[in-house]
Amino acid sequence: MNRRRVVTINDGKPGERSVSMACMHCTDAPCASVCPVNCIFSTDDGVVLHSKDLCIGCGYCFYACPFGAPQYPKLSNFGSRGKMDKCTYCAGGGGSEVPGSGQEYEKYGANRMLQGKLPLCAEMCSTKSLLAGDGEIIAQIYKERVVQRGYGSGAWGWMTAYREDITV
């Protein structure tokens, strides 16, 4: 599984940007809205999870997600690729397994959130460009970085991604 990939825009040209593409755990997740069996849902913490027990592998979520987050874990013909898989924000799974159990780990990976840890991608990011936690705090950190680097409020995508009432 490749749950995160980096896309480079204008590669080798002035204004080149690299964007990390992964599940953004959307507030109104398009993948969840198109799922015919309602196996994709948001938790109280805002993490978008899916149940592999309910998933039928139709692929609608893959086509609806603008980030390409849901993926087939197997490479084969349509219908035999199995059930979808996606980033769990290291919060375990959406199935009936006991949180933190070996069954949950085998099916969905580590439940780092249950252990009070950050998702592995944020913890291991060498440039600290991937952050996890409270949205207001993260927005403040990113805004401080933008101001410090001299881009001000005209930074690429700033007005779209963050509200202006966050003070530095």
- pLDDT for 116-131, tens place per residue? 999 998 899 888 888 8
DSSP code for 153: G
Specify the DSSP element, H or E, that contains 121.
helix 120-124
Strands (E), the chain: 5-9, 17-21, 40-42, 48-50
CA-to-CA distance for 112 and 55, rounded, in angstroms? 23
Phi-psi region of 54 (alpha: psi -120 to 50; beta: other; left: phi over 0): alpha
Phi, psi of 111 (to 5 degrees): -100, 75
pLDDT for residue 153 is more than 60: no
pLDDT bin (cut points 50, 70, 90) of residue 134 is confident
CA-to-CA distance for 106 and 36, rounded, in angstroms? 25
- pLDDT tens string 22-51: 898 998 999 999 999 999 999 988 899 999
